[in-house]
Amino acid sequence: MNDLPANLFENPVWNTLQTRHRHLALSVGDACRYPADIAPFAAVAVRSSAALQQLQSLLALGDPVWIIGGGYQDLPQFFLEGTLETLQMVLPEEIIPPDPTIEMVRLSDANAPEMVALTNLAFPGFFRKRTHEMGTYYGMRSDGQLIAMGGERLALDG
C-alpha cells in the first residue's frame, strides 16, 4: 500500500467513479455520484461553486449523500447533517480462518435483501439493494443465518 499515490485516498469516490466504477457513475462535469440504490457516495473533482452546482443537479430533493473530506461546511446549496470519522481498511495478506462451525460464503444478487437487513441493524440506509454491485462480498453464516459480511466498496486502481 505504501507504493500507491496518496491522492487516491484523498478523493477515493471521485477516483473510483472515474475508473473502475465508471459504469456505475452518474456524472455531470466535475461532479459524480453512485445511483441512490447502490450507495450514498458523491464526489467533486475540485471544491468549487460550479462543481457543487453540478453535484446538486445529480440529486433529488432531500436525497442525502456522503462526501469524503473536509471543507464542505458552508455550502448554501446543501444542509450538512454531520460528519463521521472512518478508517481505511486493507485486507491483510494472510487471513485467519473463522470458527469451523461458521460457514463462509460468497454473496450474490440473490443475497441482497439479507445483506441490506443485516447492515440496517447497525447503520440503516447505508447499504442499499444494489451496493453489492460495487465489488465482491463474502458472508458468514451460523445455522443458515447471515451474521456478518465484508466486501469491496470503492475499487481504486493499484
Q: Using the predicted structure, report yes or no on whether residue 20 has a pLDDT greater than 90.
A: yes
pLDDT at residue 97 in the model = 63
Q: What are phi and psi of 88, to 5 degrees?
A: -90, 120
Using pLDDT thresholds of 50, 70 and 90, give the confidence band for residue 125: confident
Write down the pTM of the prediction.
0.81
Give the contacts of 133 (CB within 8 A, at least 6 positions apart). Answer: 24, 38
Using pLDDT thresholds of 50, 70 and 90, give the confidence band for residue 88: low
DSSP 56-72: HHTS-TT---EE-SS--
Q: Could you read off the pLDDT of 135-148 as tens digits, one per residue? A: 999 999 999 999 99
Q: Could you read off the pLDDT of 56-74 as tens digits, one per residue? A: 899 988 888 888 876 665 6
CB contact at 8 A, 131 and 99: no
- Ranges of each domain in the chain: 103-151
Q: Using the predicted structure, report yes or no on whether residue 2 has a pLDDT greater than 60.
A: no
Q: Using the predicted structure, report yes or no on whether residue 43 has a pLDDT greater than 50.
A: yes
Percent of the chain at pLDDT exceeding 70? 81
